[in-house]
Structure 1
Amino acid sequence: MEFAERVPRRRLGVDGPEVPLLALGSWNTWDRMEREDAAALVRLAVDRGVDLFDVAHYDFGPHAENAVTDVLFGEAVRDAGLAREDYLLCGKLWLWEYPASTFAEQIKVSLGRIGTDRADMVVVGDFMERPDLRAVVTDVSELVRAGRFASWGVNNWSAGDVLFAARFAVAEGLVPPSFAQLKYSLARRSVPEGEPYGKLFANEGLGLQASDVLEGGILAGRPNPQRKIGADPGGIRDRIRASLPEVVRVAERFGATPAQLAIAYCLTHPAVANVLVGVSRLAQLEDNLAALRLAARYGDELRDAAAGLWLDRGVVDPAASWGTDAPGGR
């Protein structure tokens, strides 16, 4: 089904920008396409209003891959004839080697690899050992004031750490995080739908960006992806594979593909501003765009129909970051 209209937009947190409901990520994406295909995909996405691109320099911690997907994205943008004002760019700052690797140097290198001097927002990455959050907020705020980006969010932090960062920022006159990028899918709901984050969404104006919604392609109907995919908090990936027949059954009930169901489900969360997906073919973009109509048409019916697909309930602590299993927390 073709989605010819421009994609609707929502605000990414009270202090964040308006963003399209669908956004495109970069991990293992642009390096899976021919150069001309990447340019055509970027051009089509922007024409449809899918103009937010999450692009990172993957060369830190577990992502120390010497990947060039960010460089290829910059080439695609230029090949597509896009000006910097034609799209929104979300970068990433990593905590794995921070503070030895400063945020200022990271953003300089990252933006230089893409071929620009500014992002619109950044996501501060996840961590296993808690850094000095006061220093993190202070250093990020300095980059906002320097014009490197306008707002920031966090990737898979615990709700408690986000609240600490937000309260410290307000008390010190710094820039608080405006959104959280969280693992969220038909199967992984405990953290984004749990009470701790629910209070942040309701009371602190925090926005939610859903990532890993297709579990690296598994929830799109490809049980054995041939590329590297994200971490598996709770160790439920085999259960997710085993749930595919039920995913297909629920999707068919709504005349949808598994990928459309997975994306649409996440969009029914009231705090979700957008869903982040990896797309490497024009047909995938068209399929994913159709999920927006699915969510708009069926809403809570989708949530009710997919209730039995929640697989990390009681396995992952809602108060924890992605790396902590229940019970007990960090």
Structure 2
Amino acid sequence: MSYQAAENRYDKMIYNRVGKSGLKLPAVSLGMWHNFGDVDLFDKSRAIVTRAFDLGITHFDLANNYGPPAGSAEENFGRIFEKDLKPYRDELIISSKAGYYMWPGPYGEFGSKKNLTASIDQSLNRMGLDYVDIFYSHRPDVNTPFEETAQALDLMVRQGKALYIGISNYSAEQTAEISAIFKELKTPFIIHQPSYSMFNRWIEDGLQDVLSENGTGTIAYSPLAQGLLTDRYLDGIPEDSRAGRSSSPFLQEDQVHENIAKSRALNEIAKRRGQSLAQMAVAWILRDQKVTSVLIGASRVAQLEDNVKALDNIHFTAEELNEIDAILNESKK
């Protein structure tokens, strides 16, 4: 059965301008870091992607190494694109990245021109695309001059392989340095993708100022702190959870124990707002318009729909924000 996008897909979604560029992103974007690899059910992945578009999520965020195995998320997205989304290509913002380990040898990671050039070609091939809308340097490379990384990314735009350029996981100082190079090159560098959540506020210590000064947008990943800012761990650690699996590289048992009291206190505020903890966590990131979009993941359609409902209430009173800050700062004492 062929997919037909919902006619009302743009009725409720909020779209925010990316920095000073002409591009707008949905306030909630779909990240494909987990749940879209070959280890996952393709039909479930397809259902999540098409439902996301029906909800007004036009932005799908990938990277060359997403899976597992690495590359399979892009391949599966390419299958979904070919089957369902191809007629809507001009409505979609599709992004990818390169910089983390992808293939063996000296050229399979980091920020050299050799790696980045090969990576975008591989990504376009896996997804069956002529271009991506945003291509990111996934992490800074301290052993490659930023001039080389920036020039390689600039070349992608001039070759028509990417419309816009972004960076991810760069510090405030690194962002300022490469921003200056992009300005000289006149590269359409428009966005930074950092991790950001109530429990991980590092971007407030300088990075947001640099991005604001340069007119650069922000798209936040891991807004739910790997599940800590959901109802998953409010009553302890379920055996089938990330933290319950000793092999998980993303969330450890001690992190849950350290934060469970804060999660419970934050959940009480969320209840008063008529939201789940996850919904409030997403809304909080969008609270002051410094962040353009929040990247959410989803392992099922119902989870996606639940997180998008965060947009029903993204406004906070001063009292709520002060109460949240008090809870978060208490942990630092």
TM-score (norm 2): 0.81
Match of 1:303 among 316, 321, 325: 321
Shifted more, 285-294 versus 176-185: the winner is 176-185
Structure 1: gaps of 5 or more residues:
316-330
Q: After TM superposition, give the deviation of residue 51 of structure 1 in Å.
A: 1.0
Match of 2:98 among 93, 96, 107: 93
Match of 1:150 in 2: 163
Q: After TM superposition, give the deviation of residue 69 of structure 1 in Å.
A: 1.9
Match of 1:286 among 299, 305, 318: 305
Q: After TM superposition, give the deviation of residue 67 of structure 1 in Å.
A: 5.1
Structure 2: gaps of 5 or more residues:
1-8, 101-108
Match of 2:72 among 68, 74, 83: 68
Does the 8 Å contact 1:188/1:310 carry over to 2? Answer: no
Match of 1:320 in 2: none
Q: Read off the aligned partner of 1:203 and give its amino acid letter.
A: E
The structure that has the greater radius of gyration is: 2
Could you report, residue by residue, the CA deviation over 1:110-162 in whole angstroms, capped at 9, with x for unpaired residues?
Answer: 12111212100022112474531111111100001111111111112111111
Does the 8 Å contact 2:113/2:149 carry over to 1? Answer: no
* Structure 1 residues 132 and 310: CA distance shift in structure 2, 3 A: farther
Does the 8 Å contact 1:201/1:271 carry over to 2? Answer: no
**Structure 2 counterparts to residues 244-323 of structure 1, below 5 A:** 244-296=263-315, 298=316, 300=318, 302-310=320-328
CA distance in 1 between counterparts of 2:275 and 2:251 reads 27
**Structure 2 counterparts to residues 15-164 of structure 1, below 5 A:** 15=21, 17-31=23-37, 33-58=40-65, 65-66=69-70, 68-83=72-87, 84-94=89-99, 96-99=109-112, 101-127=114-140, 129=142, 131-164=144-177
* Structure 1 residues 309 and 124: CA distance shift in structure 2, 3 A: farther
CA distance in 2 between counterparts of 1:167 and 1:12 reads 18
- Partner SS, residue 132 of structure 2: coil
- Partner SS, residue 178 of structure 1: strand
CA distance in 2 between counterparts of 1:175 and 1:207 reads 15
TM-score (norm 1): 0.82
- Partner SS, residue 302 of structure 2: helix
Aligned pairs, how many? 304
Q: Percent of aligned pairs with the same residue?
A: 23
Q: After TM superposition, give the deviation of residue 302 of structure 1 in Å.
A: 4.5
